[in-house]
Structure 1
Amino acid sequence: MNFLQITLKDLLLLSRDRRTLFVLIALPLAFIAIIGSSTGQLFSQAEAARKYKVGIVDADKTELSGQLVEALQLVKGLEAESYPTKKAARQALAEDKIHVLVHIGPKYHTLVEELEVIDIVRPEGGRLQGNVKALDVAVEAGPFLANASNLLEIVVLSITVKTISPTVLEKNAKLKRQIELAALKSRTTPTETETEELPDFLKNKPDPPSINVVVYQTVVPGYTVMFVFFIMSFMARSFIGEHDMGTLNRLRLAPISRPGMMIGKTIPFFIISLVQTSLLFLAGKLLFGMDWGHTPWMLLPVMFCTSTAATALGLLVASLVRTEAQVTAYGNFLVLTMAGISGCMMPRSWQPEFMQKLGLVTPHAWALIAYDQILNRPEPDLSVVLHCCGTMLAFAAGYFAIGWWRSRGID
Structure 2
Amino acid sequence: MRRFPVLFSAAILGLSGLIQAQAQTPAPKPTPDVLVFSNGDQLTGKLERVAGGNAVFKSDMAGELTISLDKVKELRSGEKFALLRKGIPVTKADAPTGTVDMAGGNVVLTNPGHEPDTVPTKDVNYLIDKDSFDRQIARKTKFLQGWNGTVTGGATVVRATDNGTTFTAAVNLIRTTPVVPYLPPDTRTTVNVAESYGKLTTPLIPPTDPPTPPSVAKTSIFHTDAEHDKYFSPRFYALADLSFDHNFSQGLQFQQVYGGGVGWTAIQKPKQQLDLKVDLHYETQQFIQQLGVPNVPSVNLIGSTFAETYHYNLPHGILFTETGDVLPGWNDMTAYSANGTATLALPVYKRLSASFSTTDNFLNNPPPFNKKNSYQFVTGVTYTLH
Query: What's the TM-score bracket when you normalise by the shorter of the two chains?
Result: under 0.3
Query: TM-score, normalized by length of structure 2?
Result: 0.23
Q: Report the TM-score when normalising by structure 1.
A: 0.22
Higher gyration radius (CA): 1
In terms of fraction of residues, the more helix-rich structure is 1
Higher strand share: 2
The higher-RCO structure (CA 8 Å, 6+ apart) is 1
